[in-house]
Structure 1
Amino acid sequence: MFDMLKQWFWYDWLMFMIRLICSTSLLLTTVERAAYFTLPLWVLVFWQIIAFSVPWLCLQLNYKYYLLTEIVISGGLCLYLASYFPEAYLTFLVYAFFIAANSAQRAYLWSGTISVLFVPAIIKLLTEQSDFWLMTIHVGLAYVIGFSFHLLMVNHRQSEIIREQNGVLEQYLSQVERITLAEERSRLSKELHDTVGHAYTALIMGLETLRPELATETGMERLDSMLNLARQNMEEVRGYVHQIESPQEALPLIQYLRKLAEEFQEHAKVSVRFQTFGEEHPVTKQAKIALYRCLQESLTNAVRHGHATEITVSMKYEPQQTRLEIQDNGRGMEQVQDGFGLNAMKERALNLQGHVAVYTQLGEGTLVTCTLPRQTELKDEVIRLVVVDDQPFIRESLRTLLEEQRDLQVVGTAEDGEQAIALCKQVQPQLVLMDLDMPNMDGITASRTMKQMWPQIRILILTTFEDTRQALEVLRSGADGYLLKSIKPAELAETIRTVYRGGTLINQEMSHKLFAQLEADKTGDDTSPTQMGAAYDLTLREIEVLKFVSKGLRYKTIASKLYLSDGTVRNYASSAYMKLGVRNREDAVQKALEAGLLE
């Protein structure tokens, strides 16, 4: 009830004061002339208290309940008083004003008829000396004044809604402009870094390879001059990249989102409470922008569509992910409608391997959750890498590009699988970046041997050509990722971090070709578990994990047999359970047996 009072406008308080004054005056008059009535004084006082409070309370719930209680209780009180004092019909003028002011839609047809005609007619029957037409005119004028006041209230409410919506839209447009500029700055800085910066790096390394071929002193001087010029221009490009960055992008995520919430609260005139949980960790620019846009869109929808007055924003830092929750007290909806804004939010999260979920019901508000996996540089931890490629230029280029990242360290390079295995014995890397086609020992054989000797080492295949047969062999050998050398340096660094934390990644185009190849390999009469699994959209790896689960093996044991991490096996098992529609391993095994998934 107190929350309702906080939302009252000036006319709501005016009507309440008029009702209070008139009721108090009528009560005093009734007490003064109590001797003229047959009912006890306490009954009349109680009746008037009921006539003051009950209709007013019903008005806070539903205007139809109010009209019924006002006409029956207050109208009945006026009829009783008029039966003793004919001029007491004037007290009904105030109630007629209230009835008209709070009627809506078709309620005017019956509330106006009862107030203007029916009540004066009953008073005429009770007191023959009363003038029916005079009473009708008086009550009719009061009703018309109340109707005019109702129009004034409706106009004021609509004006307030328009002003609030304009404020929200202005704030939204301002934020869209700001985030668009930020995205454009980010895009330009990436383009400069990934194109011009990469070109200068390749140029410098190419010039360095020419040094042994230049025998004359003049040639060496010209080479040094060209190298100095290239390095100087590369430093200038880096300076431009830092200048393009927006000052706001340098803010920590919490400050970035809190500022948005405070600005929205100021413009939209709603209460926005911001809270954080867990220890804050840095996130990538893409993740920061995705969370920013998710919060912006959710705040706007909460006010525009949900008419919320209170919004709670919760930023939760978890070990493996970052989660943003926006809860409002709006009216909610029966079914979530995927508009442009919501689709954009989901697409941004999906590009970062995250997801957006929306829960809403009528009368219960809306909860929007944006979850992103941790994809950021690890300040307190350095990933030790080994680069394996038979081309020296590629090895040194990868070393140069990767060591620009503060959390990546190339501890050695090898030109074939045999050298890679020997090097792993010496330096014990955490991740190996492996080429496929190499002399002496190829990448597939080396990957299989490494996984047998060191299951904890993550292996990421980086090759030039798309070969589906070769990709299948790579995945069977225990590799944790399959990428093409055409990948951008920034994406390669993010992929290395994701694979290092236990993820498994494969180039998107290659994944489509792999699925197409698997479909092409199937025959119409094939009733293998793989084909059976297609009905549940199970992958080969998920079926393989289910087979081990059916044998009663623990996840750690399965991980060692498949040369995967414990967390990766758990992810495969959870995905398989979800696709089968079960909650535990016993039900999963039973359903898999019934479906013919297990041989």
Structure 2
Amino acid sequence: MLDIVKQWAWYDWVMLFIRLISCFSITATTIQMEDYLTLPLWVVVFWEIIVFSVPWICLMLSYRYYLIAEMLLFGGLSLYLTSMFPEAYLTLLTPAFLIAANSAEKSYRWSAPITIVFLPLLIVLFSREIDVFEIFPQIGLAYVLGFAFHLLIVNHRQNEIIRKQNSVLEQYLTQIERVTLLEERDRLSKDLHDTMGHSYVSIIMGLETLRPDVASQEGTEKLDSLLQLARKGMKEVRGYLHQMGSPQDTLPLVHSLRQLGEEFQTHAKVNVRFRAIGEEYPVGKQVKMTLFRCLQESLTNAVRHGQATDIVVSLYFEPQQTRLEVQDNGHGMENWKDGFGITTMKERAAHLQGRVSVYSERGEGTIITCFVPRLVESADEIIRLFIVDDHSFIRESLRTILEGQRDLRVVGMAEDGAQAVELCEELEPDLVLMDLEMPNMDGIAATKRIKEKWPGIRVLVLSTFQDTEKAKEIMRSGADGYLLKSIESRELAETIRLVHRGGTMIAQDLLHKMLDAQSANEQEELLDAPNISEKDENSYGLTKREREILQMLSQGMRYKTIASKLYLSDGTVRNYASALYDKLGVRNRDEALQKGKKEGLL
């Protein structure tokens, strides 16, 4: 009750004040006219206290309960007083005003006739001295004034909702603009890294190879001068890249999410409480961006769709995973359906081998939880790496970077795809870092050969360019990931661990381009597929790939068998299966098959 009163607006206090004034004046008049009462004074006063309190309490629960209580209690009191004092019919003006002000939806169809016609007629029957043509206009006018006050309340509430929604949208757009700018700066920095950085490294390496051919002292000095100039230029490029780097990347995860919550609280005028549980550990840039976007979308949904006023954000640093939980006190939904924002959140999390779960019940609010696995070094596990690249300095640089990690060991290197296929049998690596463009045999052909001969070897492609067609082709050939060479060393090490454990990783910018192209293709495929039922598409939203995997599961195939048939990695198939289970609302393969048969999806 106290929580409800705290949320009152000015009009709620106005109606309480009117009720108080009316009840005090009636009680005072009753005490003065004690000698004329047919009931004991304490009974009448107690009745008047009930008339004041019970309808008011009912109003806190439901306006329908309020209307019935107001008509019975206040109307009954007016009838009793009018039977002794004809002028007491004026006490019906207050309930007429309040009933009109608090009616809503279709209740006017029965509250208006009872208040304006039925109750005045009863008063006239109980007191013959009252003029019918006098009481009806007065009660009717009070009801009309109450209805006008109700329209004022509705208008004020609508304006508040619009203002609040605008604040949320403005805050959301500000966040989107900021994140978009950060991503664009990140993209530009990567482009500079791939072009200018690559060129400078090539120049420096090329000049170093000329040193044995320079015999004179003057030539050596000129060579040293050119090398110094090139290294200075390289240093300046790195400085520009550092300045262009996203400030968000340098902030700890807790600070970034807390800052987002505080900004949202300021703009949306809702209470956002943030807490971090567990000892904070560093996470990758993609993990940070995924959790940041998850919180952003959850906060916006809580206010826009749930009308929440209080939101609790909990960030858990657990040994095996990082968990973000957003709980609100909004309306909640009985049959939750994922919108575009939630679907995007789930795709981002699945991309990192994580998941997003939503619990929502009407009247109980909504809880959105994002789980992202923690990728850490294992003291007992050594990942054997094989580097394939036609540039020797890139091979050596990668070797230096990766062998700085305790759980990573480079067991060999190759300069083209043909050599890589030959050495794989001898070295037996766990994971191959594969370049795309190489002489003799390119990365696509080499990946296909390796996967055909040794399906257990994981292949992670490292390329300079964002080529969606080649990325799709090499992923179909069996690659388990596609990254850009501009990736940070820590991100690269974490990605290697993720792919080694069965995950699939694609560079974010490239993934967005691939998803955009895939969405368009899926829409065309759906238009050409009349055998897909309307219920399948609209009720569960299964994609063509998810239906295909469901069909293969019904044939008794395991994830690895499905992966080999569809030229996908085992982790990718598991991600599709997890999304399939979420959409069907089941927990495992058996339940999915039962529901698929029941709903006609198979």
TM-score range, shorter chain: 0.7 to 0.9
Whole-Å Cα distance in 1 between the matches of residues 588 and 174 of structure 2?
Answer: 49
**Alignment counterpart, residue 460 of structure 1, candidates 411, 420, 432:** 432
Could you tell me which residue of structure 1 aligns to residue 528 of structure 2? none
Could you tell me which residue of structure 2 aligns to residue 400 of structure 1? 397
Whole-Å Cα distance in 1 between the matches of residues 22 and 161 of structure 2?
Answer: 32
Could you tell me which residue of structure 1 aligns to residue 559 of structure 2? 539
Q: Give the partner amino acid of 2:434.
A: L
Structure 1 residues 354, 55: closer, same or farther in 2, change over 3 A?
same
**Percent identity over paired residues:** 50
Structure 1 residues 173, 64: closer, same or farther in 2, change over 3 A?
same
Unaligned segments of structure 2, at least 5 residues: 436-441, 465-482, 508-513, 515-550, 565-570, 595-602
Residue 359 of structure 2 aligns to a residue whose secondary structure is: strand
C-alpha RMSD of the superposition: 4.0
Q: Give the partner amino acid of 1:479.
A: I
Q: Which has the larger radius of gyration?
A: 1
Whole-Å Cα distance in 2 between the matches of residues 218 and 535 of structure 1?
Answer: 76
Map 1:68-107 onto structure 2 (within 5 A): 68-107=68-107
Residue 176 of structure 1 deviates from its aligned partner by 1.9
Cα offsets for 1:144-197 (capped at 9, x unmatched):
221121122112222222222222222222222222221111111222223321
Residue 403 of structure 2 aligns to a residue whose secondary structure is: strand
Residue 506 of structure 1 deviates from its aligned partner by 6.3
TM-score (normalised: structure 1): 0.75
Could you tell me which residue of structure 2 aligns to residue 516 of structure 1? none
Could you tell me which residue of structure 1 aligns to residue 467 of structure 2? none
Map 1:55-454 onto structure 2 (within 5 A): 55-374=55-374, 394-401=391-398, 403=400, 408-409=402-403, 430=409, 432=411, 435=414, 442-448=422-428
Task: Confirm or deny: 8 A CA contact 2:387 2:434 kept in the other structure.
Answer: no
Task: Confirm or deny: 8 A CA contact 2:120 2:135 kept in the other structure.
Answer: yes
**Alignment counterpart, residue 502 of structure 2, candidates 501, 504, 525:** 504
Structure 1 residues 185, 12: closer, same or farther in 2, change over 3 A?
same
Whole-Å Cα distance in 2 between the matches of residues 85 and 340 of structure 1?
Answer: 66
Q: Give the partner amino acid of 2:560.
A: L
Structure 1 residues 30, 345: closer, same or farther in 2, change over 3 A?
same
Whole-Å Cα distance in 1 between the matches of residues 31 and 399 of structure 2?
Answer: 92
Whole-Å Cα distance in 2 between the matches of residues 164 and 533 of structure 1?
Answer: 47
Structure 1 residues 328, 440: closer, same or farther in 2, change over 3 A?
closer
Task: Confirm or deny: 8 A CA contact 1:356 1:369 kept in the other structure.
Answer: yes
Task: Confirm or deny: 8 A CA contact 1:308 1:331 kept in the other structure.
Answer: yes
Task: Confirm or deny: 8 A CA contact 2:421 2:450 kept in the other structure.
Answer: no
With 533-542 and 122-131 compared, the bigger mean Cα shift is at 533-542
Whole-Å Cα distance in 2 between the matches of residues 18 and 155 of structure 1?
Answer: 21
Structure 1 residues 77, 498: closer, same or farther in 2, change over 3 A?
same
Task: Confirm or deny: 8 A CA contact 1:103 1:111 kept in the other structure.
Answer: yes
Whole-Å Cα distance in 2 between the matches of residues 172 and 532 of structure 1?
Answer: 41
Whole-Å Cα distance in 2 between the matches of residues 507 and 119 of structure 1?
Answer: 73
Residue 543 of structure 1 deviates from its aligned partner by 11
Residue 3 of structure 1 deviates from its aligned partner by 1.2
Structure 1 residues 89, 582: closer, same or farther in 2, change over 3 A?
closer
Cα offsets for 1:19-72 (capped at 9, x unmatched):
122212222333443443333334323322221122111112221221111111
Q: Give the partner amino acid of 2:497.
A: Y
Q: Give the partner amino acid of 2:457.
A: A
TM-score (normalised: structure 2): 0.74
Whole-Å Cα distance in 2 between the matches of residues 173 and 445 of structure 1?
Answer: 53
Unaligned segments of structure 1, at least 5 residues: 412-426, 451-457, 513-530, 545-567, 592-599
Cα offsets for 1:372-415 (capped at 9, x unmatched):
33468x7x9999986666x8x74432222564x5xx3369xxxx
Cα offsets for 1:119-148 (capped at 9, x unmatched):
121111111111111111211121122112
Residue 367 of structure 1 deviates from its aligned partner by 1.6
Whole-Å Cα distance in 1 between the matches of residues 189 and 346 of structure 2?
Answer: 25
Structure 1 residues 341, 304: closer, same or farther in 2, change over 3 A?
same
Whole-Å Cα distance in 2 between the matches of residues 122 and 96 of structure 1?
Answer: 15
Q: Give the partner amino acid of 1:366.
A: T
Whole-Å Cα distance in 1 between the matches of residues 252 and 505 of structure 2?
Answer: 31
With 162-171 and 297-306 compared, the bigger mean Cα shift is at 162-171
Task: Confirm or deny: 8 A CA contact 2:326 2:367 kept in the other structure.
Answer: yes
Whole-Å Cα distance in 2 between the matches of residues 200 and 25 of structure 1?
Answer: 91
Runs of 4+ in structure 1 off by over 6 angstroms are 380-386, 438-441, 506-509, 541-544, 581-585
Pairs aligned (count): 513
Whole-Å Cα distance in 2 between the matches of residues 303 and 331 of structure 1?
Answer: 10
Residue 336 of structure 1 aligns to a residue whose secondary structure is: coil
Could you tell me which residue of structure 1 aligns to residue 457 of structure 2? 479
Task: Confirm or deny: 8 A CA contact 1:204 1:231 kept in the other structure.
Answer: yes
Structure 1 residues 433, 172: closer, same or farther in 2, change over 3 A?
farther
Whole-Å Cα distance in 1 between the matches of residues 74 and 124 of structure 2?
Answer: 18
Q: Give the partner amino acid of 2:461.
A: L
Residue 99 of structure 1 deviates from its aligned partner by 0.8
Whole-Å Cα distance in 1 between the matches of residues 421 and 110 of structure 2?
Answer: 93
Residue 474 of structure 1 deviates from its aligned partner by 5.2
With 169-178 and 284-293 compared, the bigger mean Cα shift is at 284-293
With 325-334 and 199-208 compared, the bigger mean Cα shift is at 199-208
Residue 284 of structure 1 deviates from its aligned partner by 2.9
Q: Give the partner amino acid of 1:187.
A: R
Map 1:10-21 onto structure 2 (within 5 A): 10-21=10-21
Map 1:543-582 onto structure 2 (within 5 A): none
Structure 1 residues 192, 90: closer, same or farther in 2, change over 3 A?
same
Q: Give the partner amino acid of 1:499.
A: I
Residue 273 of structure 2 aligns to a residue whose secondary structure is: strand
Structure 1 residues 383, 183: closer, same or farther in 2, change over 3 A?
farther
Whole-Å Cα distance in 1 between the matches of residues 420 and 118 of structure 2?
Answer: 106
Residue 319 of structure 2 aligns to a residue whose secondary structure is: coil
Task: Confirm or deny: 8 A CA contact 1:481 1:499 kept in the other structure.
Answer: no
Structure 1 residues 228, 462: closer, same or farther in 2, change over 3 A?
same
